[in-house]
């Protein structure tokens, strides 16, 4: 049974609050490390079934790319099964059945759905089985198979009834130490509970790079915890416990590991308490401990509801919420009601000056915007070009964002269509605001393009993205698009999926997903710089980036 060390007052309160009767058996994870098999794997020798029962949310099982698949785990003996928890990768199942068996051949259906939504599922069951199988029949992504990071089977009392919700948002937090200096200003404990994955808590760089180190939160009232999610910074814990307490003095461990591997830990552990603590016992390196987010789910407590996200679009999205068709008369400058001109000296080692002038950005009278890079003396520079954005005109969260563009060819040219997080306008520095590059092409090779995400944990040359080969993009117009919702961003070129950035994959392999807020649109043509390299005698001037339209659908 669960044991807690209580103060006298808390003990009396507990005796009054808890009804008489037999004690409940604590729920126990019974599948970890057991023998798992599957109908297939995506790649021979990789994404094995065993990787979904290893307790590591950075490894996963993945199937072949067909609809009918199965995965099962042998618990080793007949076991009273209470719950299955699944941590899906982006390739989740819309339709599947959980089946139980005592002999591995005769199966009983215990639960089924045709409306699976992926993410992290917790499925209450009732039955006795040695073998537990998930029978998968309909894919969410038709081009792929099925994949999950962990498939966990539990025995004992399932989490308390009621709908689990986020209990830790904006609650008072404490820590053993915290950092507040030029490198992390401030990395106070409240940053791990602000539902902002671009802010973090870190132990002090002067006296906190020691073991143990801890961070705790006051949920405001007694709560029944069913899940804890940790999004680690690279300064993660190799060994740690999740602990609960009724009085913020006496602590009981509900989860413990000595093989933590950082990134995202989804811990389906149950316990009761008002206070929850991550108690780090072994650092992964010479630094301290740091968490982007420490999220606690369950029932009870005194939760504060975080700001609601907009509903996910249903793709194909058809409601047009922003567009510019660039149908003005020849020589007309971009529409100031839709676009802000963004003049000035650029970044990234580029050599041009962005001007607001008509020779660098105007309509051509044939239904296109012309962004022109010129060899021209201006403000101490020898080259000019143009950059414009919707920063104080239009912001968007989720939808289909697309543009039809013809790019220039030439060494050192760098056309782009991209988005910046709108908190950049309130002073949050890059890359903490987030950047979504829908299209970048380097003029030295217009037979390939790039789509990339930038965040605090992955940016610049280490951004999370894809380079993809294609036709010579300088010869005609092409449509670049991003379909973006709360589960990820999918990038398309001329209707072909070229990169799928799934939120779960990013969190489990690279770091926090920081794209669940509003962004604004940007068009520009850069000259030179760290990414495209220098211009040379063959680079044509003037060079033109033509934009047929920009559209946003929800």
Q: Which residues are catalytic?
A: 435, 440
Q: Which residues contact 144 (CB under 8 A, 6 or more apart)?
A: 65, 91
> Which residues does residue 497 pair with via DSSP β-bridges, in sequence order?
492
Q: Which residues contact 304 (CB under 8 A, 6 or more apart)?
A: 169, 170, 171
Nearest to 364 by CA among 522, 549, 526, 546: 546
Sheet strands (E) in 422-487:
435-440, 448-454, 464-469, 478-485
Tokens linked to 71 = 């995965």
Torsional class of 226: left (φ above 0), alpha (ψ -120 to 50), beta (otherwise): alpha
Q: How far is 249 from 334, CA to CA, in rounded Å?
A: 63
Nearest to 424 by CA among 535, 342, 497: 342
- Other Cβ atoms closer than 10 A to 234: 12
Integer Rg of the chain from CA: 27
Q: CA angle, 544 as apex, 445 and 444 as ends, to 5°?
A: 15
Distance (Å) of CA 62 to CA 39, 104, 118, 261: 10, 22, 14, 20
| Residue pair 548/444 in contact by the 8 Å Cβ criterion | no
Tell me phi and psi for residue 461, to 5 degrees.
-65, -15
- Count of positions (residues) in the chain: 554
């Amino acid at each position: 049974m669960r044991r807690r060390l209580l103060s006298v007052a808390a003990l009396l309160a507990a005796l009054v609050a808890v009804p008489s009767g037999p004690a409940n058996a604590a729920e126990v994870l019974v599948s970890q490390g057991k023998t798992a098999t599957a109908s297939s794997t995506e790649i021979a020798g990789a994404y094995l079934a065993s990787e979904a029962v290893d307790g590591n949310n950075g490894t996963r099982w993945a199937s072949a790319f067909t609809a009918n698949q199965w995965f099962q785990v042998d618990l080793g003996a007949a076991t009273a099964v209470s719950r299955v928890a699944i941590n899906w990768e982006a390739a989740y199942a819309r339709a599947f059945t959980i089946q139980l068996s005592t002999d591995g051949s005769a199966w009983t259906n215990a639960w089924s759905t045709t409306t699976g939504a992926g993410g992290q599922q917790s499925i209450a069951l009732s039955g006795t089985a040695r073998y537990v199988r998930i029978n998968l029949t309909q894919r969410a992504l038709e081009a792929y198979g099925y994949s999950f990071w962990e498939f966990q089977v539990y025995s004992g009392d399932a989490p308390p009834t009621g709908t689990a919700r986020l209990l830790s948002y904006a609650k008072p937090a404490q820590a053993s130490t915290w950092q507040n200096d030029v490198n992390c200003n401030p990395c106070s404990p409240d940053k791990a509970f602000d539902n902002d994955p671009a802010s973090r808590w870190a132990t002090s760089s002067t006296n906190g790079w020691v073991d143990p180190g801890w961070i705790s939160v006051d949920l405001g009232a007694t709560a029944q915890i069913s899940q804890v999610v940790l999004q680690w910074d690279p300064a993660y814990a190799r060994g740690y416990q999740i602990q609960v307490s009724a009085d913020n003095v006496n602590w009981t461990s509900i989860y413990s590991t000595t093989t933590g591997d950082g990134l995202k830990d989804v811990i389906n552990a149950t316990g009761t308490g008002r206070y929850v603590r991550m108690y780090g016992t072994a650092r992964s390196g010479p630094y301290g401990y740091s968490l982007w987010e420490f999220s606690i789910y369950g029932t009870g407590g005194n939760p504060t509801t975080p700001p609601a996200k907009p509903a996910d679009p249903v793709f194909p999205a058809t409601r047009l919420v922003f567009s510019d068709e660039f149908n003005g008369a020849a020589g007309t400058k971009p529409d100031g009601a839709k676009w802000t001109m963004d003049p000035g000296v650029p970044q990234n080692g580029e050599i041009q000056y962005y001007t607001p002038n008509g020779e660098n950005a105007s309509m051509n009278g044939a239904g296109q915007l012309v962004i022109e890079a010129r060899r021209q003396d201006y403000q101490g520079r020898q080259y000019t070009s143009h950059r414009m954005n919707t920063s104080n005109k239009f912001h968007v969260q989720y939808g289909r964002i697309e543009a039809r563009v013809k790019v220039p060819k030439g060494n050192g040219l760098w056309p782009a269509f991209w988005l910046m997080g709108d908190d950049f306008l309130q002073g949050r520095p890059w890359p903490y605001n987030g950047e979504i590059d829908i299209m970048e092409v380097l003029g030295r090779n217009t037979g390939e393009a790039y789509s990339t995400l930038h965040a605090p944990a992955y940016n610049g040359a280490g951004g999370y993205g894809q380079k993809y080969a294609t036709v010579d993009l300088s010869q005609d117009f092409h449509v670049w698009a991003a379909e973006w919702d709360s589960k990820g961003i999918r990038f398309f070129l001329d209707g072909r999926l070229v990169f799928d950035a799934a939120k779960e994959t990013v969190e489990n392999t690279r770091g926090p997903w920081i794209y669940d807020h509003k962004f604004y649109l940007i068009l520009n043509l850069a000259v030179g710089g760290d990414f495209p390299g220098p211009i040379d005698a063959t680079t044509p001037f003037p060079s033109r980036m033509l934009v047929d339209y920009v559209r946003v659908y929800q």
